[in-house]
Chain A
Amino acid sequence: MVSWKELELGCTIVEPGSSSKLKTGDWRSQRPVTDYEKCVKCGMCYIFCPDMVYKPNKMGFFQADYYYCKGCGICARECPAEAITMVEEKV
């Protein structure tokens, strides 16, 4: 991590689009785990996730990118097939 001497003037961010580098995933205390046996590929998790964590894979199943998942549980709550379970995050 940067020292105070290396910060840009006024803590300005000089690289556009760099917010995607911010790892929101390390706030997480619970992680969503999808049971693809139950999943109906409706995409509700993808739509509701406030951090755009889910992406569809080639088979059409939605997979989470844990770099950004902050463990809020919205996806598990909204999944109509009850395919998502929140499990405790292990360090």
Chain B
Amino acid sequence: MAKRIGIEVSLAVSEAVKLADVDVIAAYPITPQTHIVEHLSELVADGELDAEFIPVESEHSAMSTCCGSAAAGARTFTATSSQGLALMLEICYIAPALRLPIVMAVANRSLSAPISIWNDHSDLMASRDTGWIQTVAENGQEAFDLILHAFRVAEDHRVLLPVIVNMDGFTLTHVIEPIEILSQEEVARYLPPYSARMRLDTAKPVTMGPVGVPEVYTEAKKAQDEALKAARPVILEAWEEFGKHFGRYYKPVETYCTEGAETLLITMGSIGETAMSAVDAMRSQGKKVGLVRLRLWRPFPFTEFLEAVKGVKYLAVVDRALGLNGAGGPLATEIKAALYDEEERPYIWNYVAGLAGRDVTVENFVEMADGVEAAAADNLKSDYTIINVRE
């Protein structure tokens, strides 16, 4: 039986990568992701993990190396954050297009300027349409579990796409939590060895990443789009299997106190835990408030989301990034699009909160739940507000 120990979440993530028995890690240190790859380099140096650790000169090179490694058929991991992810982005588009099942941990952090090392989701949003499958952890145990889930999904021959596991920088990565670290045998039962469906092999030469002339580019992108959509059932199946093996069941969309709720808060990431406390407090005062937390971000879980918000009157959508599009945060625009075809749509107010590590408190969530109802009562046109901004 697995042991529950007090461990820094970054180190637990490294342990998950070790238990997945990766072949290649190529990474560059960047706050707040550094501890993950630092610990992995120690594990490799100490002989505890039989893998190639390739210290590269930038994140652009890290992802390029990962593409080469995955193309050669090796189980491959990297991790990054913020500006590092931004530098990687050119190659991030290539990995899913070439169907390379790389797993990457992203310690979510705001993007410059001003320079900030603190947590929000601006990097997560910058990478949202690169074609990677993306999950979002809410606590340390989830970060650990989602890494193992990511390898299983990515390498499944029905998927063969890279996966990002998002985890809030500092708020998750740098805290010590009681985490159940699975044993090698347990992980081996859940995660089969990786066998590449197609790889670089001198005995059978292939060209990966050739020019796509106008006659073929559209078809190539259509095939990629269909592959991402086809990954959905496998993502769910891998969570179901995870539950059967280890007793922790995960869903793409989690609901909390949604029964009879008129107002729902929508969150993604670690603030969901604070939001639960806020919901408890509001419920104890008789307010009909519930919570929906998104764990799967790409492909977006439309069916489960629509099911979760069915029949409610008000949604307070909490974004951890500013959309800079004049229309609010990216999560809210996504959710509004998801609801467009519904006959009965809830009234939506978007709150941008917790930019660059600013606390989002229980009081803030109460303010948001009350705010959406008040805005609806005032017949305000659906809009967004930045919580806590000094006027």
Contacts and interface: CB of A to CB of B under 8 A. Distances in A.
A22 to B, nearest CB: 8
B206 A14 contact: yes
A34 to B, nearest CB: 29
A59 interface: no
A8 interface: yes
Contact of B220 (A1, A7, A14, A22): A7
Given A1-B215, A2-B216, A11 B223 contact: yes
B230 to A, nearest CB: 12
Interface string A1-29: 11111011111111010000010000000
Given A14-B206, A16-B205, A9 B99 contact: yes
Contacts of A5: 223
Contacts of A1: 215-216
Contacts of A14: 198, 206
Interface in B306-330: none
Nearest to A8: B198
A8 B197 CA distance: 11
For chain A, give the interface size range: 10 to 19
Interface in B206-225: 206-210, 212-213, 215-216, 218-220, 222-223
A7 B219 contact: yes
B226 interface: yes
A13 B219 contact: no
Contact of A12 (B206, B218, B219, B222): B206
Given A1-B215, A2-B216, A12-B198, A7 B223 contact: yes
B143 interface: no
A16 B202 CA distance: 11
Most buried by B among A3, A9, A11, A22: A11
Nearest to B94: A10
B100 A10 contact: yes
A4 B223 contact: yes
A7 B216 CA distance: 9
B289 interface: no
Contacts of A10: 97-100, 160, 198, 208-209
Contacts of B212: 11
A9 B99 CA distance: 7
Given A4-B226, A16-B205, A11 B160 contact: no
Contacts of A4: 218-220, 222-223, 226
Given A2-B216, A4-B226, A11 B198 contact: no
Contacts of A9: 99, 160, 197-198
Contacts of A11: 97-98, 210, 212, 216, 220, 223
Interface of A: 1-5, 7-14, 16, 22
Q: Which 8 A-B pairs have the closest CB atoms?
A: A10-B99, A4-B219, A13-B207, A4-B222, A10-B98, A11-B220, A4-B223, A16-B205
24 contacts: A1-B215, A1-B216, A2-B216, A2-B219, A4-B220, A4-B222, A4-B226, A7-B216, A9-B160, A9-B198, A10-B97, A10-B100, A10-B160, A10-B208, A11-B210, A11-B216, A11-B220, A12-B98, A12-B198, A12-B206, A13-B210, A14-B198, A14-B206, A22-B213
